[in-house]
Structure 1
Amino acid sequence: MRNILVVVGSGMKSGNTYRLTDAFCKGAEEAGHVVNKVFLGDKKIVGCSGCGACQKNGNKCSIQDSMQDIYPSFTQCDTLLLASPLYFWSVSAQTKAFIERLYAISKEDSYPHRDTLLLMTAGDDNFWTFEQPVSYYRFFTKALGWTDVGIYTAGGCDGCEGNRHIDEKHLTAAYKMGLSLS
């Protein structure tokens, strides 16, 4: 059984990224895993200021915001799923701020091991659409010594006249991803 922290870096609870994570969570819970979902759109999290206080005071970030509420959930999880819409060819600002603030939990640039997954959505579906954010994800997870156990990118999530929608095939794939975690 895994203890999965799902971090949704979207600003919309009714959006494609949130729906994609709902499908993943359903599969993971059916597989017997414990899932804790955090919606960053409801949180106030600023990026790391680089002050270094966390490396001098027992790994406690000096910035007092919603990240303080998330650190305990991160500490308890063994698996981290990051979910983000594509914003300007990268992860959302909320997701980036969350990732930066994980610096506080490092000890001498060593991080507690996590298995990680990435779910992303985007309006277009070109072959290059997710190239930059997936590269970023692969780099920082490798740098932190974490193990990537899955990436799913859901392109083509804009319908006619800009209406948001996500194809059922993406929801099914995310559900199966959650269900298949061992």
Structure 2
Amino acid sequence: MKKILVLVGSGTPRGSTMQLTDAFIAGAQEAGHQVKKVFLGNKQIEGCRGCNFCQRSGSCVIKDDMQKLYPLFEESDVLVFASPLFFWTISARIKAFIERLYATSKDDKFPKKETMLLMTAGDENFWTFEQSVSYYRFVTQAIEWQNIGMCLAGGTKIEDGKHIIKENYLEEAFQLGKNTITRSEQND
């Protein structure tokens, strides 16, 4: 069993990104994993100030909702970043969370985590998620996290106020959650 922290970087609590997230969670829970979902759309999280206070003191100087998320981060094995595509990349909410994780590092070494990326977008061009995936891969590689999966759901839309996401993406997210295993488990 893995402890999975799912961070939803959408501003819409019942939109396409949340549907994709909930499908992933259903699969992960069916597989016996412990999942905690955090909707960042109602959290106040500033970006990192770059003041380095955390490196001197061991804690972030900014007192906002991130203080409640640090313990959840620390106890998780897997981080799942769920984001709509905003201006060709992941949401600012997810970016702010990632920036603030600097406070968890010691000598630029971060706690080891495995990560996943769930994303939604309105279009389905071959390059739609290129910038987002590039950013995600760069960040995870730079802080030595292990990517263990992605679900990139294009073609979402809103009709009559209802958010619509294709069933094949919901199934893909469900299977990703259900089949969440770590590298060490793969080698057993």
Normalised-by-shorter TM-score class: over 0.9
Residue 185 of structure 2: aligned partner: none
The alignment partner of 1:81 has SS state of strand
The residue matched to 1:62 in structure 2 has which SS? Answer: coil
Which residue pairs with 1:111 in the alignment?
Answer: 110
Q: Does 1:67 align with 2:66?
A: yes
For structure 1, the 5+ residue unaligned runs are none
Distance 1:127 1:159 in 2: 21
> Could you tell me which residue of structure 1 aligns to residue 164 of structure 2?
165
Task: Please give the per-residue CA displacement for 1:102-129, whole angstroms capped at 9, x wherever unaligned.
Answer: 1110000000100100000000000000
Shift of 1:159: 4.9
Taking the aligned partners of 2:7 and 2:75, their CA distance within structure 1 comes to: 14
Residue equivalent to 2:38: 38
Which position in structure 1 is the counterpart of 2:176?
177
TM-score (norm 1): 0.97
Which residue in 2 is equivalent to 1:130?
Answer: 129
| Counterpart-to-counterpart distance in 1, 2:122 and 2:63 | 34
Tell me by how many angstroms 1:164 deviates: 3.0
> Does 2:19 match 1:11?
no
Between stretches 153-162 and 87-96, larger displacement belongs to 153-162
Rounded to whole Å, the distance in 2 between the matches of 1:162 and 1:41 is: 19
Write out per-residue CA displacement over residues 66-118 of structure 1, whole angstroms, 9 at most, x where no aligned residue: 00000000000010000100000011111110111011100000001001000
CA distance in 2, matches of 1:159, 1:2: 34
TM-score by length of 2: 0.93
| Greater shift in the superposed pair: 154-163 or 82-91 | 154-163
Separation in structure 1 between the aligned mates of residue 29 and residue 171 of structure 2, nearest angstrom = 15
Identity of aligned residues (%): 56
Q: Residue 25 of structure 1 aligns with which residue?
A: 25
| Aligned pairs for 1:82-121 within 5 A | 82-121=81-120
Aligned residue type for 1:134: V
> How far apart, in 1, do the equivalents of 2:79 and 2:152 lie?
16
Q: Secondary structure at the match of 2:178?
A: helix
Q: Identify unmatched segments of 5+ residues in structure 2.
A: 182-188
Task: Read off the aligned partner of 2:30 and give its amino acid letter.
Answer: E
- Using the alignment, how far apart are the partners of 1:155 and 1:162 within structure 2? 18
**How many equivalent pairs are there?**
181
The runs of 4+ residues in structure 1 deviating greater than 2 Å are: 159-164
Q: What is the distance in 1 between the residues matched to 2:171 and 2:22?
A: 11
Shift, 1:181, TM fit:
1.2
For residue 176 of structure 1, give the secondary structure of its aligned residue in structure 2.
helix
Please give the root-mean-square deviation of Cα atoms over the aligned residues, in Å: 1.2
